[in-house]
Copies of this chain bind each other. A is one copy, B any other.
Amino acid sequence: MARQPEVKLPAELFRDLERSGPVPLYYQISNRLEDAITSGQLPAGTRLENEIALSERLGLSRPTVRRAIQELVDKGLLVRRRGIGTQVVHGQVSRKVELTSLNEDLRESGRRPATTVLVHEVVPADDAVARALVVQPGSPTLHIRRLRTADGTPLAILDNHLPEAYTDLDREDLQERGLYELLRERGVVFSVAKQVIGARHCTAKEAELLDVPKTSAALTMSRTAFDNNGMAIELGEHCYRPDLYSFEIMLVSR
């Protein structure tokens, strides 16, 4: 099989890089490359210029260019092979898998999310919640339960537990805006989250809230999120309508 010819990347892709701005150079480059790929300007299978030529042409060091490329490899947009080069992956690409909230997901895909707060109470942590949030059993936690709709259709029931520091979250705020949005506004920087996705039958109450037949299946997700301090911030127990929602995940091996 003949080797793909190298493609010289158009110079205007990398015009006006801000060398002194707050945005890292490698990030600017990877962003523009990502746009070029997702927009179809660089079709699947395209073989990029090699790292050294690219770095010389941009007036940057090879590690910087290399890091930009690595970002996209991690996202599953590019594939690197030594001795060969770097190629755009075949197959209709991706959509990144990041630590996002349902609210933001829906908004990005152009739907109108709305929320009804069903429960909003400060309760002592039971054993399971205490273990997940790494707090003392019995310590005060905020328990909220929300019904999330998209374009007026019930989509999910969201049960969340938060540790003492966040028990003062306002009920009205939660009605209007997403939990993650509110937490980020308070300075929380999310770092890692552990999710478990499963399925089961709806309970009668869930079926009623979600407006589905009593015997329906439910898609469940349980998540514990940690901030960049390594502290547990949130335990979520969510229940989705499986005909309207699914999880999309991109796995990358190294």
Contact A231 B199 (CB under 8 A): no
Question: Residues of B contacting A134 with CB < 8 Å?
Answer: 44, 90-91
| Residues of chain A having any CB pair with chain B under 8 Å | 44-45, 76, 79, 81, 87-94, 97-99, 131-132, 134, 190-201, 215-219, 224, 226, 228-232, 240, 242-243, 245-253
- Between A and B, 24 residue pairs with Cβ closer than 8 Å are A79-B191, A79-B228, A79-B230, A87-B229, A87-B230, A89-B191, A90-B232, A91-B224, A91-B226, A93-B192, A93-B226, A99-B253, A190-B253, A192-B253, A194-B251, A195-B251, A196-B246, A197-B219, A198-B242, A199-B199, A199-B217, A199-B242, A201-B216, A201-B217
| Interface residue from B45, B87, B99 paired with A251 (Cβ < 8 Å) | B99
Q: How many copies does the complex hold?
A: 2
Question: Residues of B contacting A97 with CB < 8 Å?
Answer: 251
Please, which residue of chain B has its CB at the minimum distance from the CB of A87? Answer: B230
Q: How distant is A73 from chain B, measured CB to nearest CB, in Å?
A: 9
